[in-house]
Structure 1
């Protein structure tokens, strides 16, 4: 950590990015780091290729996050947050190496160790927890805005303290953030409070798509572009829907296959299709959730993705049925006991 803090304090102009299809941890870590560096007199650029989900629009500086850019010669440092590999930031990954120093801050067990400097702690409940440690070590005074970002990152990545990654630090840090002025009710109201009619219609279609296989141990949910168009929703409205497929009785592994937006058969020039951002045309984004009996980070790694033991994902240009066949085959080989009657 000391080397990273030294580099950040020496930096003048910092690029800060997080992963495509951002969740609360990706957005909260991004805004918390940005606010902290600005308080130290640094110039910053916040980047995320995907639209920021509306539920996080209450967080400070979300409207300053850009979704496209070219390399800027004035950037001396890049801070990449909550990304298991550099490709998780999307199209800009091909240019990021031109920035002199890349700092990799993450908590995923599948992190590839990219960058010049790394702070990877798989025992952390979230990347926001690690960012909190860095902010404290830099001597930055935590404002209410920074606190809201940290609190949201931890709250969402632990599933409101329900997931297996919930640790003592999650409660301790959130308690400190509340002392800085964060109102838990207000945050929960934004993140979980209300859904649009379109999202409810989309959920109905998603539930109707559920397929149960392998003696009830495996569930598939599929969402297509036409479903989004029919309900007038956006990809960010899909957030959390996989949990309905996971909570079905006896299900050990839930899979959500999401069709990307855009036209098919474009962007074929990229050779490593499995690592492209999921909003690239023609790609499918696959989310994986486990009850803990299956390590879905291994499954995601098999397809070139990554994540945690109970939550992971990957992108692919294979057809939906082909992805299903590969997942079933992987499950039969890696966990044959789950497939027996």
Structure 2
């Protein structure tokens, strides 16, 4: 098994999750390669100390990402920075020739995403992917396989949701995701949109038009000094798209909610068809539900307790439960497997093209929500 030298740009929460996943690489079985974090970068030097304290492999700490990109030990980069920095730093990474797994939304808006996409043309052999870990849950994979098998028949409706609840407290201090100049005008859609678009887009369910209901419920939040300052971005978005035409058309419902009473980062997918239906939610990580319907027969949901059934085999026994940190590691396993010449076991990380398509959906949804009308989605040609 060969080592792949990684650099991390942006040493906050998600960077630490990757570091933890790489430190537990022995958890996985039969891998082609392993990530070795050799360099870290952040404009806040204090954040980098955690990495050098816990990972002996870290040999470079820098506040300048171009210095990290000049490091020959770094083959691939994980970049997790605020949205306003995506266009500049992602472009520098791509220009350097390093492989990239970047955080969503892959550009603060569609214009910035287009600038990133333009740099990718003609770069054969350079792997670029977008972060999206939730579909790596075993139950999500079951729903995906069910849909791919044709078991749905004619589709009635598809819904994918990411419900985040920590922002229901109006006294929670403001952060950059509430600031348009840092997060972007998408608001909750920018940070959560790839979570709900990844699987539908992977399965070919691209809405040709959307209608969005955008909600801004908390007007102000306290800043570091305790003063109330404006919340500039949307709290919740419910997007209803139309996929297909004529009698075969069906609604695709996408929910990105930062204020979701009683929820705590719940991701779910539900696919309903005339011959079969299936659903999974992270609230019940061990299980998925499905129904196979024959004309005139009973309409009975079945529940299967999956236990630990990961896409990439691991040492955990099947009787145990799969969780978020496992999903993160499985996503990274897919990326590393591709870097080492594999096929990510048939389910690779979100692609730049999928990120561009999700920008097309979010751009149309933002216009729809502002103007309260149905808007056509204009995909790049």
The answer to which structure has the higher strand fraction is 2
Q: Normalised by the size of structure 2, how large is the TM-score?
A: 0.29
Kindly name which structure, 1 or 2, has the bigger radius of gyration based on alpha carbons. 2
Q: Normalised by the size of structure 1, how large is the TM-score?
A: 0.32
Larger RCO: Structure 1 or Structure 2 (Cα < 8 Å, ≥ 6 residues apart)?
Answer: 2
